[in-house]
């Protein structure tokens, strides 16, 4: 039986030769993402700005969007954001809280929404409703951001402890890259950014790091093995040796994510989209962001000498490398 | 490395089977098959976003508790000094700025006053801290301020009893299996599965149901009331919307009223004369006696029935009410009267509660999510298994077997954890994702075996080396995922927590199935067949 090999044996792509232009492009993309996030801003969901969000299915074939908009405008809470979701007769209606609001406003909004829809559209089905007060949304936003920062920091510290400080910096930078680009994509597309997306980003932080760790692990091994090899060459070797694994694993995750994206519940579309995007960005960053940084931070063959065990030494002697 | 004695194999299979089989009842119920009740049936608990239901977070305002304590203290101080022998006269009493201040008219009685007040200010807590501090300035001016510890204790007590009242009210509604949890210092979280529209529930919980009977101050001039001026000892209470007094202001005597906390029962009934829905209340013996005294001393005068700070009616006292039973009317419908009766029966909330967060999901939308999630999962799993098979052949087969067992073990663990871990919609995504990522360990191992074979190692050494050399990368990669999942669990709410739980369980089970189980299978195969070459 002939097995599928996505990456032929002995592939030797000189990734690191292009490290400077790739880094320049990545830094530019990061800067562009940050600019977008701070100028255009993220389309924050009710989790983070407060307000109400309601999902309804109408008895008619298509949702009477214009009529609904008028009815809701008449409530005087401001402009609603209406989006079609799933079937043509289903929409979500979101209303954000004004900047200054008293405690029960979000709750009153959702109550009035229910009443209005029930009154004007007999047979309307309310699929889900969510109301978040300003105080709670502030807390959710803060804890979401703290969680992101803690996860990035915690993982980088772990890498530092397990490897060397240069690797910790590399991991942190790769993570910052992935998170920034994902945020940039959300700012660009205007997709709703809510609690689930923060969870998605935390997840892709974990998975993007998988790739980085596998490559770092191989770099560490090769640093011990090939004492004389120039660093760029050694990094290239390590990336190439693990390339098949990188491609197979990323494809595996993408296969399941695509199934979820195309067939899964639309309620978590944004969530799945964020992770899917993150898998691409994360795979790229573990090759082009986390590896070259080791050169610039001055990793040398001596970085791991004290950690070489006797078994490793014997192993090396047995292979005839002294 | 490849040595698996019999006891070890039995032990590994036992663990696998226990966890994998625990998922069977849940899977069968998903497929619509009835599981006999006589058998043990651990079930995966579904989160509200899948099962449908309402989640409500209520919040209290601690400032309200402080204001109430101040008022109680004022009444106690007045009563204590009035009943002193001889009476201690005080004046210029004020509760401005959250402190109680007053002057003792005769400076020689300051110490006596202090002796009377001091016992009322020691804390009820075990710490021996004071609830209030007493200061005497200018010789005879008392300043009583609440200590932080005292207020915190009061808020804590108020929230405990508020939680109890919320529980009673929800039970009275007859909803099934609600979860009511106090969260943090001033919040209560209510989860009610199956409840689609929580409006009625929110209305009921939003009602403080503090019932008061106070005498109307007839000396107050209507023109003064409109300007907010009332005689000393009186206060202005607005009329309740929907009542006959809507829009008007009524002056009532502030003290010596009766509180509704001395009720033993409240029922929705009808007024025999007008056939209008009313609420009949029954006082306990002390409350009844107090009510009898108030009504017999004030025959012919109006008294106000105040609910949550609004006058719902202000009838004249035609005759003393001595039976301990009274009727409250206030333009009720049967429904609102019934709601008020429930609220009064379960007692007043010691603090107002505001709904600060609500999430409700219909069972239909939840079921739709489960159906679509299951389809996505099966398709993704199928495609992945084909991919593994064509990429790794026999080793891909082992990977796939590990994958299925992994999935069953995650569900089984969720079922065994029961109410401690609910499966949520992001949790289903976590399940799909775990499936995709669980193969990573096998990919690492299989790729390594390939490499070792390419270097010319013999089959057994290559496999042994493959498992050994990839273990550090597998370990580190999983630890970073654990870090992310733990942080998500710590900072997340409901659905996100469900996701984190699935990730954490999945990390453990996937290392077990992808590393340990496949190694056992590969070892068994190598021992039986002793192949000299492997297709990989």
ipTM: 0.86
Closest CA in chain A for residue B200? A111
* Of the candidate ranges A95-104, A155-164, A171-180, B153-162, the one whose mean pLDDT is the lowest: A95-104
Q: What is the pLDDT of residues A279-297, one digit of tens each?
A: 889 989 988 888 888 888 8
Look at residue A305 and tell me whether its pLDDT is greater than 60: no
CB burial of residue B308 (10 Å; 0-12, 13-18, 19+): middle
Paired sense of beta strands A51-57 and A90-96, if any? antiparallel
Question: In this predicted structure, what is the pLDDT of residue A316?
Answer: 65
pLDDT at B147: 87
Contact assignment for B481 to A206 by CB distance below 8 Å: yes
Rounded mean pLDDT of B182-195?
89
Is the pLDDT at A322 greater than 70, yes or no? no
Whether B184 has its CB under 8 Å from any CB of chain A: the answer is no
CB B467 within 8 A of CB A291: no
Query: Boundaries of CATH 3.30.70.260 in chain A?
Result: 51-132
Given the structure tokens 């997709």, which residue do they identify? Answer: A191
Cβ of A217 within 8 Å of Cβ of B472? The answer is yes
A252 part of contact set with chain B, CB < 8 Å? yes
Q: Please indicate if any CB of chain A lies within 8 Å of the CB of B456.
A: no
B429 vs A260: CB contact, 8 Å cut-off?
yes
Is B484 in contact with A3 (Cβ distance < 8 A)? Answer: no
Pairing of strands B100-104, B141-146: antiparallel
pLDDT tens by residue, B48-90:
888 899 999 999 988 888 888 888 888 888 888 888 888 888 8
- Looking from the CA of A126 toward its CB, the CA atoms found within 13 Å total 27
* Own/partner long-range contacts of A167-173 (Cβ < 8 Å, ≥24 apart): A167/A216, A167/A290, A167/A294, A167/A299, A169/A293, A169/A297, A170/A212, A170/A216, A170/A289, A170/A290, A170/A291, A170/A293, A170/A294, A170/A297, A171/A209, A171/A212, A171/A213, A171/A216, A171/A290, A173/A289, A173/A290, A173/A293
pLDDT of A252 reads 92
Domain with CATH 1.20.1640.10 in chain A: 15-42+137-318
pTM over 0.95: no
| pLDDT score of A26 | 93
- Rounded Cα–Cα distance for residues B301 and B310 (Å): 19
Per-residue pLDDT tens over the stretch B226-241: 787 888 888 888 888 7
What's the gap between Cα B59 and its chain centre?
10
CATH (residue range A51-132): 3.30.70.260
The residue count for chain B: 536
- A103-122 tens-digit pLDDT: 788 888 998 999 899 899 98
User: B183 to chain A nearest CA, in Å?
Assistant: 13
Query: Which residues of B fall within a CB distance of 8 Å from A159?
Result: 476, 480
Evaluate if residue B35 carries a pLDDT over 70. yes
Q: Is B423 on the interface with A (CB under 8 A)?
A: no
The top-level CATH class assigned to A15-42+137-318 is mainly alpha
- Interface contact A110, partner B, CB < 8 A: yes
CB atoms within 10 A of CB B254: 18
- All domains of chain B in start order, with CATH: 6-52+362-529 (1.20.1640.10), 62-151 (3.90.1070), 154-359 (3.30.1360.200)
- Note whether A111 contacts B199, CB cutoff 8 Å: yes
Among partner residues A107, A214, A257, which is closest to B444 by beta-carbon distance? A214
What is the per-residue pLDDT for A320?
64
Average the pLDDT over B134-155 and give the result.
Answer: 88
Tens digits of residue pLDDT in B91-120: 888 888 888 999 988 888 888 888 888 888
């Amino acid at each position: 039986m002939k097995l599928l090999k996505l990456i032929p044996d002995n592939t030797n792509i000189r990734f690191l030769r292009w490290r400077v232009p790739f880094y320049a492009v990545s830094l530019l993309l990061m800067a562009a993402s940050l600019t977008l996030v701070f100028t255009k801003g993220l389309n924050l969901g009710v989790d983070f700005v407060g307000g109400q969000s309601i999902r309804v299915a109408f008895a008619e074939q298509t949702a009477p969007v214009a009529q609904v908009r008028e009815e809701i405008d008449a409530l005087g809470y401001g402009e609603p954001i209406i989006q079609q979701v799933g079937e043509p007769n289903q929409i979500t209606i979101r209303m954000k809280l004004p900047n200054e609001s008293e405690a029960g406003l979000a709750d009153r909004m959702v109550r009035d929404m229910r009443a209005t829809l029930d009154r004007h559209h007999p047979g309307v089905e309310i699929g889900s409703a969510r109301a978040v007060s300003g105080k709670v949304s502030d807390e959710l936003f803060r804890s979401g951001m703290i969680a992101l920062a803690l996860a990035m920091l915690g993982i980088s510290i772990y890498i530092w402890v397990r490897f060397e400080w240069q690797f910790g910096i590399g991991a942190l930078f790769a993570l910052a890259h992935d998170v920034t680009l994902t945020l940039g994509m959300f700012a660009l597309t205007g997709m709703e950014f809510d609690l689930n997306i923060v969870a998605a980003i935390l997840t892709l932080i974990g998975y993007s790091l998988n790739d980085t760790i596998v490559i770092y692990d191989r770099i560490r091994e090769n640093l011990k093995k090939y004492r004389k090899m120039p660093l760029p060459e050694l990094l290239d070797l390590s990336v190439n040796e693990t390339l098949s694994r990188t491609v197979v694993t990323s494809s595996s995750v993408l296969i399941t994510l695509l199934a979820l994206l195309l067939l899964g519940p639309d309620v978590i579309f944004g969530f799945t989209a964020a992770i899917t995007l993150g898998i691409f960005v994360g795979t790229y960053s573990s090759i082009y962001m986390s590896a070259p940084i080791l050169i610039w931070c001055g990793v040398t063959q001596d970085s791991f000498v004290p950690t070489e065990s006797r078994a490793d030494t014997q192993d090396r002697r047995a292979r005839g490398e002294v | 490395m490849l040595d698996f004695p019999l006891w070890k194999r039995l032990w590994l299979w036992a663990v696998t089977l226990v966890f994998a089989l625990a998922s069977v009842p849940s899977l069968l119920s998903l497929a619509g098959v009835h599981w006999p009740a006589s058998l043990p049936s651990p079930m995966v608990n579904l989160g509200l976003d899948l099962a449908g239901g309402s989640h409500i977070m209520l919040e209290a305002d601690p400032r309200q508790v402080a204001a109430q304590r101040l008022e109680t203290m004022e009444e106690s101080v007045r009563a204590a000094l009035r009943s002193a022998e001889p009476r201690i006269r005080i004046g210029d009493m004020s509760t401005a700025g959250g402190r109680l201040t007053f002057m003792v008219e005769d400076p020689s009685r300051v110490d006596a006053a202090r002796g009377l007040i001091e016992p009322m200010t020691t804390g009820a807590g075990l710490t021996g801290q004071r609830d209030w501090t007493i200061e005497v300035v200018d010789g005879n001016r008392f300043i009583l301020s609440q200590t932080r510890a005292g207020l915190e204790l009061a808020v804590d007590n108020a929230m405990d009893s508020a939680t109890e009242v919320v529980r009673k009210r929800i039970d009275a509604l007859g909803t099934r299996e609600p979860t009511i949890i106090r969260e943090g210092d001033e919040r209560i979280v209510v989860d009610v599965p199956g409840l689609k529209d929580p409006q009625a529930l929110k209305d009921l919980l939003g009602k403080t149901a503090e019932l008061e009977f106070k005498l109307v101050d007839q000396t107050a001039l209507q023109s003064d009331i409109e300007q907010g001026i009332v005689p000393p000892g009186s206060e202005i209470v607005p009329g309740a919307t929907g009542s006959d007094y809507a829009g008007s202001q009524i002056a009532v005597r502030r003290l010596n009223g009766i509180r509704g906390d001395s009720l033993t029962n409240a029922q929705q009934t009808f007024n025999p004369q007008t056939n209008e829905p009313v609420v009949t209340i029954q006082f306990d013996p002390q409350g009844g006696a107090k009510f009898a005294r108030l009504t017999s001393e004030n025959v012919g005068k109006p008294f106000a029935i105040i609910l949550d700070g609004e006058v719902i009616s202000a009838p004249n006292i035609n005759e003393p009410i001595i039976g301990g039973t009274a009727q409250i009317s206030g333009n009720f419908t049967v429904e609102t009267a019934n709601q008020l009766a429930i609220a009064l029966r379960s007692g007043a909330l010691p603090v107002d509660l505001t709904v600060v967060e609500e999430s409700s999901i219909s069972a239909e939308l939840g079921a739709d999510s489960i159906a679509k999630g299951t389809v996505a999962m099966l398709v993704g799993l199928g495609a992945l298994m084909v991919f593994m098979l064509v990429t790794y052949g026999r080793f891909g087969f082992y990977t796939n077997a590990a994958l299925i067992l992994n999935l069953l073990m995650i569900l089984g663990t969720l079922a065994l954890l029961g109410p401690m871990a609910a499966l949520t919609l992001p949790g289903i995504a976590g399940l799909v994702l775990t499936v995709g990522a669980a193969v990573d360990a096998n990919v690492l191992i299989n790729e390594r075996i390939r490499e070792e074979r390419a270097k010319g190692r013999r089959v057994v050494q290559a496999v042994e080396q493959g498992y050994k050399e990839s273990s550090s990368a597998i370990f580190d990669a999983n630890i970073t995922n654990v870090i992310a999942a733990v942080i998500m669990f710590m900072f997340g709410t409901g659905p996100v927590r469900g996701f984190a739980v699935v990730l954490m369980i999945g990390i453990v089970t996937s290392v077990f199935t992808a590393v340990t189980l496949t190694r056992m299978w590969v070892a068994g195969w190598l021992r039986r067949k002793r192949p000299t070459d492997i297709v990989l």
